[in-house]
Structure 1
């Protein structure tokens, strides 16, 4: 049982870190090696100074939805972890971690919705006159998608996890 508890805790922390990285880091869409777009900025690599020059993205409803859902996912997962730690000390023996699992499930569904919106509305979100065939999804987008099943699996594990002595 201790191994399951350690596994669930490590899984939760890994997915939380992955969510945070995918929300904050700048690689949701890659146009070229020197031009990338994320949820917050459009960035160009300046070869002369070897720095990234970033400007705020043009706001639209779809982008704001993705931003809000990814931030909500991080918040739900963070709350879930804090509640889990609190329940470890306050929950009676034999109790289930329902609230923790529910928060983690909500984190999974909000990340899923954000990824779906970005997938289907990337033309509107990127607001570019360029052809989308010249770019591809970045590693943060892939990281966000990979968080979805991990969040949902950990949510189900929390619901079935019982507190023992």
Structure 2
């Protein structure tokens, strides 16, 4: 009796943990895709997947212009949005399965979607890492800048997405 109670309690904690991990990873993916700091030259200028921005001291605002379409930027944009979509679908499917799946069922589809989200995010950050010079197309030397926090956040999402995908694939629905 005690073993069964302990096991059910542990599964409840695992369920809460994996749900929180998914929500946190989804938020990190959203921030890394939409926020403006994939490449930073100084605290006054940065570039992201969508805009190149410069801080104007006179008006105390960011002045942004659309990024130039390059053969490498577009795939990074598409892959990051796909990663966000896969992770969102995965979360919605998980919630649906949580309430409709029979006892003992596994969350395979949810895990598969998370793994696909991890693969697309990994592809996007690898392309950006290897081709940032072509993506930025800036007159300044790329070496005078550095990767921003959104780029780092995207890299952090990759192992978290893979881990949550594996956890979902092994997670069984209990009563």
Q: Same fold (TM over 0.5)?
A: yes
Equivalent pairs counted in the alignment come to: 165
Alignment of 1:1-165 (within 5 A): 1-165=11-175
What are the superposed Cα offsets for residues 89-144 of structure 1, whole Å, 9 maximum, x if unpaired?
11111000000000000000100000000000000000123211100000000000
How far does residue 157 in structure 1 lie from its aligned partner after superposition? 0.1
What are the superposed Cα offsets for residues 30-77 of structure 1, whole Å, 9 maximum, x if unpaired?
011100000000000000110000000000120000000000000000
The whole-number CA distance in structure 1 between the counterparts of 2:142 and 2:92 is 41
What are the superposed Cα offsets for residues 6-45 of structure 1, whole Å, 9 maximum, x if unpaired?
0000000000000000000000000111000000000000
The whole-number CA distance in structure 2 between the counterparts of 1:70 and 1:30 is 19
Give the secondary structure class of the aligned counterpart of 2:155.
helix
Query: Match for residue 8 of structure 2?
Result: none
TM-score normalised by L of structure 1: 0.99
TM-score normalised by L of structure 2: 0.94
**Consecutive aligned runs of 4 or more in structure 1 exceeding 3 Å deviation:** none
Over aligned residue pairs, what C-alpha RMSD do you find? 0.5
Unaligned runs of 5+ in 1: none
The whole-number CA distance in structure 2 between the counterparts of 1:61 and 1:75 is 22
The whole-number CA distance in structure 2 between the counterparts of 1:133 and 1:88 is 48
The whole-number CA distance in structure 2 between the counterparts of 1:89 and 1:145 is 32
Larger radius of gyration: 2
Unaligned runs of 5+ in 2: 1-10
